[in-house]
Chain A
Amino acid sequence: MVINPEKKIEEGDAMEDALKQINAVAGTIGSMVCDDHGRLISHVFPSIFDKNMLSAAATTVYENVPGLEDITGGVKMIDFRFQNGRVVIKPVDGGCLILLCDGTSNLQSLFISLNLVAKKVEKILKAGPAVSQQITAAPQTPTSTSVSPQDLIDKGLVSAYLQGMQATLAKFMGPMAKIIFLECVEKWLQDHQPVKTSLPQLVDIVAAEIGDPAKMSDYRQRVSTFL
C-alpha cells in the first residue's frame, strides 16, 4: 500500500485539533487517544507528562477495559475520581479517548464535548493510523497471514462458539476470564486448526485453567449445551 505522507500529517493534525477542543473545557489537564491495540496515537498533555508515561497509561486502559465488559454488557464511559483529579475514559470505535482533569472540571460541559469529539476521533481512527503512530511505532515482527486469537473470537468462523465459551468462563473467573480465555485460544491455535471439530481440545485447555474439579465439570457441562 502506498502511504501518502501529506494525508498522514493531515490526520495527525486533525486528531490533535480534536483533542485540543476537549482540552479547552475548563479543568481539563490533558487528553490522549490510543488505538484498539493500546498504542498511543496522539496526545495533548503538558510537557511534564512524558510519552512513556502516557503510553503506559494507554496500555493499562487497553488491558483492563475488556475486563469490565462482562459486568456492564459493554463499557460506554468510565469516570475515576481521585484525590487530585479525575480520569475519564471513553471507548470509541477503533480505540479509546483518555482525559485527565483536575477537581474543578465542569462535568456537564466535559461530557458534551467528549461525546462530540469522540465522533471525530472515531472518524479519524477509521481513516487510518495517525502520523504520530507512523513515526513512533516500534518495528513490527514479520507479518503473518494467520488470524489473531482476538480476531478469531470476534469474527472468526467459530466465533459464536468461542464467545459462548468465554462468557461461560466469566461465570467462573469473573473479569479475568477474557485474558485467560485469550491465552487458552492462543495455546489451542499452536496445535489445532480453528474449526468446530477441534473445539473439545480448547474446552480441555480452558477447563484446566479453572483448576477446581467440580467447577471444571460444571464448565464442561455448560459449554456442551451449545457446542
Chain B
Amino acid sequence: MEGAAALKRYLVLENAKVFEGKAFGANKDVIAEVVFTTAMTGYTETLTDKSYAGQAVVQTFPLIGNYGMATEDFEGDEPKLAAYIVREWCQKPSNFRSEFDIDTFLKKHNIPGICGIDTRELTRIIREKGTLSGMITDSLDKVSMQDIKSHRLVNPVSKVSTKKAYLSKGTTSDFVVAMLDFGLKKNIVRSLNMRGCDVWVLPHNTAAEEIITLNPDGLFLSNGPGNPKDNKEAIKNIAALMERKYPTMGICLGHQLLALAHGFQTTKLKYGHRGANQPVMHMPGKMVYISSQNHGYAVVGESVDTNVAEQLFVNANDGTNEGLIYKNLPVISVQFHPESCAGPLDTMFLFDTFVKMMKGGRYAT
C-alpha cells in the first residue's frame, strides 16, 4: 500500500504488545499516552488540536490524508500531539484547498507517524485495557519497558497555552470576553468573534485580578489537555472569579475546571471519548445532539451538589456527565465541543446562549 517504500517502525505498548508498521512523518522516538479517535473526517483539526498535547493519536478510520491539509483549517498554530498512528496515509491527496500532505506536515513539525498497522486491533486493546502508554521507535533495541510504563504527561497545559495575552476582534464589538486559554481550539474564538465578541485570549495562569481589570462582559474557559486536577492555580482563580458573577461558559477542560472550582469531582475515563459521533442528551428538553468530543477525564455526575448545579447534558451512551448549569450563577459548561471543527455543528447554539447570557438573559435554548 502507499508509503510502502518506507522504513519499518514499531509501536510498543506498555503491556509489551508490539505493532510493526512503516515510518512516516518525522524520524524520532517518542513515548506517549496512546488514544484513539473515531472521527472519519477532520484529521487536520485533530492534528492541530492542542488537547491532544503529548498524546499519540490513533485514527480508527483507515484512510487518512485523502484531502490533504489546508492551513486555514488549523485549530492551533502548530500541532502539539506526540505522534500519529494511521492505517494508511494518502500520498496523493485531492481537494481544491489542499496545500500539502500529512507526511510533509508531520515532518515539518517533527512529529513521528506510524502507518500500516492494524489500527482496529490497537483500538480494541485500548478499549479493553484502558488508555495505555506506548513507544514509537524505529528500533526495538531502544525500547525500555520501564520508561514506557512510568511515562506520565505532566502539566501539559503550560506547554500549549498562549504565553502572552492577545485580543481577537469580533465582527462588532458588542461584548468583551475574557478567555482563559488552556489549549484552545481557534474555532471557539472564531465562533465568539462572529457573534460580535472581542475576545481577550489570556494565558492559563492569568490572575483573577488581572482579568477583572479587563472588565469583561463574560468569561470563557477553553478546552485543553491533561488531568484537570493538575491546574491548581487556574482552579483557584476560577473560584475567585465566580464571585464576580460573570456570565461564564466552559468547554471540555474548562468545564472540568469549573466543576473542580465548585468542589465537584473529576475522574479519568477508561479510554475516553474521542470522535465526532457522541450523542449527548440535553436534559431540559430531553433532546439528543451529536457532538464532537476529545476528553480522557470527566466530571463525576454524582459529585455534583444539586443545590449548586444540575446536569445540563448527559452522554446518551454511557450516562457520563456532559455539561452543567449552575443554579445561582450565570454559568454553563459542556464536556463536548460545540465549536465542532472537526465535528457536527448541532450544538453551535450554545454560543448564542452565552451571548444571551451576557445580555443578561437566563439560560434558554
Do chains A and B stick together as partners? no
**A interface with B by C-beta (< 8 Å):** none
B contact residues vs A (CB 8 Å cutoff): none
